[in-house]
Amino acid sequence: MTAKFFEKLSNNYLELLEDKDVFNVIIKIGEAPNDKVFQAHSAILKYQSLYFHNELKIADKDENNIKTINLKKISIQQFEIIIKYIYGGIALLENLDASFIFELMFVACELILEELVKYLEIFLIESNAHWLRLHFVRIHQKSFQNDKLLKLQEWCNDILVKYPSKILNPKSLHLFKKMHWFR
């Protein structure tokens, strides 16, 4: 019999994230004046994310043996969710609007956090289908630009098959034409 104590382990790693004494990576998020520095640990980052694994390979160490990674296109709020996922295996999505979660999914894609991407896809489909339908053209366009979003692409295709007259109306056709669908 195997006992699994993931909650305690998760809490320990989240405490490690808050420990300002032991770190060897600085992650700079955003651009001034909306920027923030996060302290992290290369061993955790590189095993949780292929993106960080690759970035840490090429990042130079400073005189204190610390590597720096710059992520200017990610918001502080997005990265706070990402880093808690990386360290603690948790994603706190309460009180976040669907648009934010949708954009967070693309950040997770960029950082090659496949498990989180799949979770966010399913969360959006199951908990925010109304929002997805209201923004269908945007959702369709962006999801088909990323080969990792297979669940969302499947959802879009199902919606097109089930409700073609609601989706393919004169207003949406104009938007689809802008996306170069009908050339």
pLDDT values of the chain reduced to their tens digit, one per residue, 183 residues: 777 788 998 999 999 999 888 999 999 999 888 899 999 999 999 999 999 999 999 999 999 999 999 999 999 999 999 999 999 999 999 999 999 999 999 999 999 999 999 999 999 999 999 999 999 989 999 999 999 999 999 999 999 898 887 676 655 544 454 544 443
Task: Count other C-beta atoms under 10 Å from residue 127's C-beta.
Answer: 13
Q: What is the pTM of this model?
A: 0.87
> CATH 3.30.710.10 region(s) of the chain?
1-92
SS (H, E, C) the chain: CCCCCHHHHHHHHHHHHHCCCCCCEEEEEEECCEEEEEEECHHHHHHHCHHHHHHHHHCCECCCCCEEEEECCCCHHHHHHHHHHHHHCCCCCCCCCHHHHHHHHHHHHHCCCHHHHHHHHHHHHHHCHHHHHHCHHHHHHHHCCCCCCHHHHHHHHHHHHHCHHHHCCHHHHHHHHHCCCCC
pLDDT at 69: 97
> 1-92 domain in CATH 3.30.710.10?
yes
